[in-house]
Chains A and B, each alone.
Chain A
Amino acid sequence: MDTSLNIATIDPNFQIQSNIQEEALVWYDVRKAPFRVYGLHDYQNQFVFRRVPAAVAKATGEPLERLSLHTAGGRVRFKTNSPYIALKTVQNGRGAMPHMPLTGSSSFDLYEKKEGQYTYQKTFIAPVHMTDGYENIFYCNRTDLRDYTLNFPLYHGVNALYIGLHKESVLDAGDRYIHEKPIVYYGSSITQGGCASRPGNAYQAHITRWFDTDHINLGFSGNGKGEKSMADWMASLDMGVFVSDYDFNAPTAEHLEATHKPLYETIRTAHPDIPYIILSRPNLTKKTIQTDARHAIIQKTYVDARAAGDKNVYFIPGNELFGEVDRDVCTVDTTHPTDEGFYRMAQRMARVIKHLDW
């Protein structure tokens, strides 16, 4: 059965103001089928895109309320044969940061999946003087049916996203992931994707493409502190794998000790059978890790879990995440990974993930 949809038959009953000069262009709201948004919470019913339910974010704390509106890990998937893909966003401000470009913090990038392989197509670059969103168009000069994934910005909010296609083109739902149950990542600014040059270069984005898996990015810049409200909500999520990338933002080693193992226990109780991967922070200077109290706390969660009979728990020490050679290239500021750093993290994690039974 042909489930595809000729978009000329749909009534785009909303008016989008645009400066793009394409007479045959029709705008679609990605909140509506056949578009499917991944990595964002209850997206069809939320006024702004968010990663966490408002009540959970509120219970966790004010910074998290703001950060939960950053769309890290968000993706929209669809198929079309339109000769162009236009994009129009509604965003507040521009989200400029000193060590991360707008292409990473505030912009969308596009991948095409073909025969199981994802290929980067385009960065829809947010303008430097963006005030309330932006628009852009990508001319593909093709009319074959393509399976697209558009990644949301990592460090900025998105109120609305419209995709513009030629009115006579086909629009259909994107393929499902092979692993439709998401990998849930919990952690810090690094987890959130700081400082990737664009969303598709965050470490989770690599993993998601390599394994064709959904994911949910619950990295909260400066605010991944293992709060009970967050842990309880995460435990309620349907998921395929949990990655605890929680280390950096615990204000003290004592805080980490009081929250790191409880997070494991909360997730494990709700999901007895999923792989649980524990990371410690990526470390630029390898030798310091041996004396790192936080590392010891994190490792203890792992050792205790194994001792208690958990055979589906894995530990990657942070000093392995950047590989062996030229580690200096891996951060922008000795803390936040560059694209090369994220790529190496993804490679190291992939070595564990490829052996998982999921």
Chain B
Amino acid sequence: MDISTLDPNFKIETSFDGPDLVWYSVKQDPFRVYGLYDYKHHFPFVRLPLDVAQATSPGVLNLAYRTAGGRVRFKTDSPVIAIKTTYPGSYLMPHMPPTGSNGFDLYEKKGSQYNFLKMFVPPVEAKGAYDGIFKSQSTKMKDLTIHFPLYYRVDALYIGLKKGSVLLAAPPYKHQKPIVYYGSSTTQGGCASRPGNTYQAHISRWFDADHINLGFSGSGKGEDAICDWMATLEMSMFVSDYDANAPTVEHLKATHYRLYRKIRDAHPDIPYILLSSATKYAASTHNLGFLAVICATYEKAKAEGDKNVYFIHGNELFGEVDRDMCTVDGGHPNDGGFYRIAKRLAQTIQTIPNWN
């Protein structure tokens, strides 16, 4: 499809003087958005139905709008890729840069390999919108993935391509059914420097798998409402990264196995991977009660005959050497920490039939 034949009936103002661009909303075909819920019908983008979020907690309702795990995929031969996004005003975190919380980054898939092409660096003070442009000389067909921000709301996203270029749908993932991740701020991607450096983004590229990020900063507490909804999702794997936000050991005890049971009842055959926190148990013995709950879920599942359940101890997630470099604040992984988590998780995923 030659995009000059389409009618982009909206005017996009940008900060750069560029070539003659044609703008498209990513909600329209042939773009395809992954990791966000019913994206064609939601403004702003959301990760889960708002009634489910509302029934879960005020925190999850707020965080439903943070676009962690969102991606848009398409193919084009345009040498320039511009983005324009509209979102609310300024939002700055002290331990995560705007590139991670508010920014989009771009990868190209060549063969089976994804390459990082561009960080569309947002301004420190976002004032309702930002834009960015990737310029290359290449008029070859490119298979592109753009990641959405991890900790911010996105009202709309437009892609600008050089007038006259070809725009096509990207090929589907090898694992088109998503891996669903449930958990805390770490799950949500805090504090990656950019969206492409979360652990899920690595896994998605290495295994060419779709995913849905249901990490909720401070608010992943295993409530019935969200667990029931997650169980209804079509998925190829479930990763329970849930322990950091449970307020007490008793709370975790009451919710952790229950989450497993709900997902397993709905999906008898998918791999179910249990993680414990990478930081909660390494420094002290103070939190070992939480860890015991996770181990108990695992043991009980095994005892019940589940042969497709896996457990990775949090202390293994950062590897063996120089673990100190893995967090920004003792609690939240940085890019080094996320990379190590992804490597450890990949070790387990590789042992699963159809995933090696």
Contact = CB atoms under 8 A, between A and B. Distances in A.
A101 B194 contact: no
Interface stretch (A4-12, A118-126, A258-266): A118-126
B99 A339 contact: no
B99 A343 contact: no
B329 A123 contact: yes
A102 B324 CA distance: 19
A339 B328 CA distance: 9
Given A102-B95, A128-B94, A332-B97, A206 B325 contact: yes
A171 B194 CA distance: 41
Given A331-B116, A338-B334, A201 B98 contact: no
B339 A329 contact: yes
A333 B99 contact: yes
A197 interface: yes
B328 A334 contact: no
A306 interface: no
Given A98-B98, A125-B94, A339 B122 contact: no
A103 B328 contact: yes
B242 to A, nearest CB: 25
Nearest to A123: B329
Given A101-B191, A123-B330, A331-B116, A343 B322 contact: yes
Interface string B141-152: 000000000000
A311 B99 CA distance: 43
A334 B97 contact: no
Contacts of A200: 324-325
B119 A197 contact: no
B330 A100 contact: no
B266 interface: no
A99 B124 CA distance: 9
A97 interface: yes
A329 B95 contact: no
A36 interface: no
B97 A343 contact: no
Interface string B88-126: 000011111111000100010000001111110111100
Contacts of A326: 202, 339
7 contacts: A101-B93, A101-B191, A107-B94, A128-B94, A328-B114, A332-B193, A338-B197
Given A120-B324, A201-B336, 19 more contacts: A104-B97, A120-B327, A121-B330, A123-B328, A127-B94, A128-B92, A197-B95, A197-B334, A328-B107, A328-B114, A329-B197, A329-B335, A329-B339, A332-B99, A332-B193, A333-B194, A334-B117, A338-B335, A339-B335
